[in-house]
Amino acid sequence: MDIRNFKTNSFMPIHFTKMHGAGNDFIVIDNRIYQLNDAAAAQFAKQVCHRRFGIGADGILLLDSGRHADFQMRYYNADGSRSFCANGARCLARFAYHRGMVGKAMIFEADDGRHEAVIVGRAVRLHMTDPAMVELNRTITAYPRAETVHSINTGTQHAVLHSDDVMQEDVVHHGRVLRQHSLFQPLGTNVNFVQTMDTSRIAVRTYEKGVEAETLSCGTGAVAAVAVMTLLDEIEPPVMVHTLSGETFCVNFTRNGSVIRGVTLEGSAHIVYDGEFLEENVD
């Protein structure tokens, strides 16, 4: 169903579930019902994620029928761009379990590959794809201060910077500058500021591209931060990751030299409410 057909003479509310994973919030839709294509979903995300004129969220999650898995996940940022989102994946796993579509263990397809997820009480443990495109210790230029930046892909692209006091960072301003930096073009990057607390705990704040703001937490960012700091020999997994929301993730994996395998991200996934988005709100 193309979103343009929502404005018809027939009443067609869109049922959704509002969820958040450690404060990273989403609008979840069972797309087996609505069958939004890519263009329609991108347009819909821009409409409903607006925090004044829509429902308000960092992005939307669509659950589609899986070809060779329990289901397929599509994620769209608030600006309509498509990417992988680990917090979103954990929320969609909990949504599928809550609706009785799957058992506590499931396999689903996403833009970055196949994932396994397991319901663990009120938390969800997500098996991530292996990190790739790791580049450490690059010097940033054309930036307000001299910085060493590390980059890694954990399902989507991330930059990681060390911080002596993460709560004092101007994440929005500096994150926006780095997100557009020439080092990360043409696609841009998410930007993570990381403070090492001890060998098993870090604090992370993240500027997310597509949302174009700081989010209360970022799952792929947490994994990126832990992976980079491990490769720099500052920490060892498993690592507890403290987020701006006040909630924590547990990130675990095995390391063999510079190779990281078997990454898991575990944290909360909350169902907030169910609702209907009315067709009169669609442009």
CA distance 16 to 27: 6
CA distance 152 to 229: 11
Closest listed residue to residue 98, CA positions, set 56, 63, 54, 55 = 63
CA distance 115 to 33: 23
CA distance 141 to 144: 9
Give residue 266's identity as a one-letter amino acid code.
E
Q: Is 49 one of the annotated active-site residues of the chain?
A: no
Give residue 145's identity as a one-letter amino acid code.
R
Which residue among the candidates 49, 85, 91, 250 is catalytic per the annotation? 85
Structure token pair of residue 140: 């940033």
Burial of 190 (0-12, 13-18, 19+ CB in 10 A): buried
How distant is the alpha carbon of residue 118 from its chain centre?
Answer: 17
Q: Is 91 one of the annotated active-site residues of the chain?
A: no
Enzyme catalytic residues: 85, 218
